Structure 1
Amino acid sequence: MQRITREQSRKYAFDWRDEPLLRVECGEPFEIETFDASTGYFKTPEDKAIPGRRPGFDRTPPTANPIGGPVYLNGAERGDVLVVTLDDIVVDDYSWTAIGPRRGPLGESTRWPELSGDYTTKIFKHTYGASGTTRDGTLHFSDSIRWPITPFVGTLGVCPDREVATSLDGQGPWGGNLDVRDAAVGNRIYLPVYHPGALFSLGDVHASQGDTEFTGTAAETKATVRVRLDLVKQKRIPWMRIEKAGRGAPGMDSAEEHGSLVSVFADKPLEVAVETATFNLMDWLITDYGFTPTDAYCLVSTCPDFRINVYQMCKIGRLSYVAGAEIPKRYVRA
């Protein structure tokens, strides 16, 4: 199996001028070994998020949040849609999060001075599950608080059309640093293609994250990600889409019907991201599932299982807020 090693996963931009590290066929599995968002800087609680100590923080924007790629998919052309399937994510034996002065929404807090007066790094131990790996492992937040590891890829995408976008704060229809927790094992991610080969990259795996990634960092970790790429030829979509896999449930005809459709969008203010993600979900229902505009509009307002996910709402650099409009597939059977 072809692989991009961790030492090769030190790119800090989605740049269409970069030479591909791999060339793959549709459906061919390959692996990308990723660094964490700090490129390995955070290892112990003594490693503080002080900019002057961190490699790459003498640049603007900093060289952080590395990605592995690009991967060239044979047959991909401008105007196609890239289909990304994440088959496996195996995270490292620890993850970290870091807070401190001028970091996140409480980086200048007077209400809780400990959040803005000093830097704090928390290291979370990972223990293996029954598989003998972290696939079904546990994250230990403290001696008394723990939860299942729920990994996802925080930064992924193709190269943008004409611009070069950093992996730290680049976002767009092509992907980027979106921290969408539904970029997880078994789900399919759809992205518009702008260049021959699509030029796909990923990195920034999180062992877990809550809604909004409130502090600006989640449970950041290294990982090995197994991926397959495919194509929908000559189809246009406005932004990233995700087709979540069904988990199976009593009374359901199939696991496929038990999945859901998620339309992703990023913008500021948050209500614009929410509204546009919903508009784009309606377009998906109308274009691919035969809904009338009236039915699609009324469905997202009345369906009790329609959801808005706020994936990322960090006050960091140029990052926009990331929302996803989600509807279960059982309501949209073609």
Structure 2
Amino acid sequence: MSNHSIKNTHSSGAFAADAEPVLRIAPGTGETIGFETDDAVYAQLHEHGDLEKVTAQINPITGPVFVEGAEPGDTLAVTIHDIELLDHGWSVYLPGTGALAGKMGNQAFSRQIPIRSGEVILTEHLALPTQPMIGCIGTAPASGIGSTIMPTYSFGGNMDLTDAKPGAVVYLPVEVPGALLSIGDIHAIMARGESSFVAIEAQGTAIVSVDIVKSSLSQEDSHTQSAEHQRIRAPRIETAEEWIFVGLGDPVQESINRGYEDMFDFLVRDHGWSPYDAYVVMSAVAHSELGGPTGSTSPDPLHPMTAVGAVTVHRLPKSVLQNG
């Protein structure tokens, strides 16, 4: 249960600077918000077998929520407390999309995936524990709109990161007053990298709370004691074990460089490490991987989507901060 509930009827297909908030909330109170998401597009695809016959919004987000006191330059800290799933999800193939397009051909595919007793029933012979996560989470851009499909933006978006899960804190740059937080695209389980461009998509409710990290405040003045306090240029995620830095750029090497640079600044600027210590430790323990395939500049899901850049993920064990 949550203190506030937002139904998926309050949804849209874009992050927008001029979107009308459906809820206003004070940060740092611990009050929770339930964002109900929508998977109608997958149900329609399953029914019709043809994406061109689908009328539902593709990858909608629920919201937005206005966070009192959030100003451009701040960071919004979104703690994910729980993700409640319905009794089924979907696996679909959209012709021309994903790494296996050359193998799957031109015929759309869909399968309803039962979810019961905490397991995702993938096939007649294989069931796995659910690992629910939020695929699309973000604030609003400083102006205009941002797609909920691709690319991923500095303020978030369709990142498709398995680490956006219960127990994690997602940090998002604030670009407009109130931040305007929206959430969508829940997955029951997803492999890192998302080979098919979809996971096991599922309707559900993400239960979160929000806080603000003021970019100019000291550690003692901030509500959120574990976050860094300089303006961030891309999302990052904190779990019990890791700090995870999202790299965004085109080509992929730029994305990798930017993610590593943000980690380096986190250690040197925000934690007082020497540049040389940061360099040595990162080369030893900072693992990097490709994130979801959301680097394309084309938001059109009806045609082949070629990734011209990529989301990259850079992992720093929190244990090095305890020993640094």
Tell me the amino acid that sits aligned with residue 132 of structure 2: P
Question: Are the structure 2 counterparts of residues 232 and 101 from structure 1 closer, same or farther at C-alpha, using a change threshold of 3 Å?
Answer: closer
Deviation at residue 28 of structure 1 after TM alignment: 2.0
Give the match for residue 255 of structure 1: none
Is the 1:47–1:121 Cα contact (8 Å) retained in structure 2? Answer: no
**Cα distance in 1 for residues equivalent to 2:238 and 2:97:** 33
Q: CA RMSD in A?
A: 1.9
Which residue number in structure 1 is paired with residue 93 of structure 2?
99
d(CA) in 2 for partners of 1:12, 1:118: 26
**2:210 counterpart of 1:229:** yes
Deviation of 1:272 after TM superposition, in Å, equals: 2.5
Contact 2:45 2:51 in 1 (8 A): no
Specify the alignment match of 1:244 in structure 2.
239
Give the structure 2 partner of residue 163 of structure 1. 144
Task: Write the mapping of 1:104-123 to structure 2, written as runs, cut at 5 A.
Answer: 104-107=98-101, 109=102, 112=103, 115-123=104-112
Query: 1:295, 1:165 → 2: CA distance?
Result: 38
**8 Å CA contact 2:152, 2:311 repeated in 1:** no
CA contact (8 A) 1:83 1:230 kept: yes
Matches within 5 A, 1:1-334: 1-8=3-10, 10-26=11-27, 27-36=30-39, 39-42=40-43, 45-48=46-49, 50-55=50-55, 63-107=57-101, 109=102, 112=103, 115-128=104-117, 137-234=118-215, 235-245=230-240, 259-303=241-285, 306-313=286-293, 317=298, 320-333=309-322
Structure 1-normalised TM-score?
0.83
| 8 A contact 2:234–2:248 mirrored in 1 | no
User: Residue 227 of structure 2 corresponds to which residue in structure 1?
Assistant: none
CA distance, structure 1, for counterparts of residue 80 and residue 58 of structure 2: 23
The answer as to whether partners of 2:15 and 2:145 remain within 8 angstroms in 1 is: yes
Q: Is contact 1:215–1:314 with CA below 8 Å preserved after alignment? A: no
Question: How much does 1:43 deviate?
Answer: 6.4
> Contact 2:89–2:113 (CA<8 Å) still a contact in 1?
yes
Taking a change above 3 Å as real, the CA distance of residues 75 and 125 of structure 1, as seen in their structure-2 partners, is: same
Task: For residues 137-184 of structure 1, give each alpha carbon's deviation from its aligned partner in whole angstroms, at most 9, with x where no partner exists.
Answer: 000111111111101100011001123112122421100111011111
Which amino acid is the alignment partner of residue 185 of structure 2?
A: D
Mean Cα deviation higher: 98-107 or 22-31: 98-107
**Distance (Å, rounded) in 1 between the aligned partners of 2:206 and 2:94:** 30
Question: Residues 287 and 316 of structure 2 are in contact (CA less than 8 Å); yes or no, is this contact kept in structure 1?
Answer: yes
Bigger drift between 260-269 and 193-202 goes to: 260-269
2-structure distance, mates of 1:315, 1:300 = 25
Contact 1:79 1:193 (8 Å CA) reproduced? yes
Closer/same/farther in 2, CA of residues 51 and 45 from structure 1, 3 Å limit: closer
Partner SS, residue 105 of structure 2: helix
Q: Do the aligned partners of 1:243 and 1:261 also contact (CA within 8 Å) in 2? A: yes
Instruction: Give 1:295 shift.
Output: 1.3
Q: Distance in 1 between matches of 2:70 and 2:47?
A: 46
Structure 2 letter corresponding to 1:190: Y
The Cα shift of 1:13 comes to: 0.7
User: Does the 8 Å contact 1:100/1:116 carry over to 2?
Assistant: no
CA 1:125 to 1:44, structure 2 compared with 1: closer, same or farther past 3 Å? farther
Between the two proteins, the alignment pairs up a number of residues equal to: 296
Alignment partner, residue 131 of structure 1: none
* Identity value in percent: 30
Please list every run of 5 or more consecutive structure 1 residues that lacks an aligned counterpart in the other structure.
57-62, 129-136, 246-258
Secondary structure class of the residue paired with 2:259: helix
SS at match of 2:96: coil
- State the distance in 2 between where 1:44 and 1:19 align: 30
Structure 2 gaps, min length 5: 216-229, 300-306
Shift of 1:64: 1.1
TM-score by length of 2: 0.86
For the residues of structure 2 that align with 1:93 and 1:19, how far apart are their CA atoms? 32
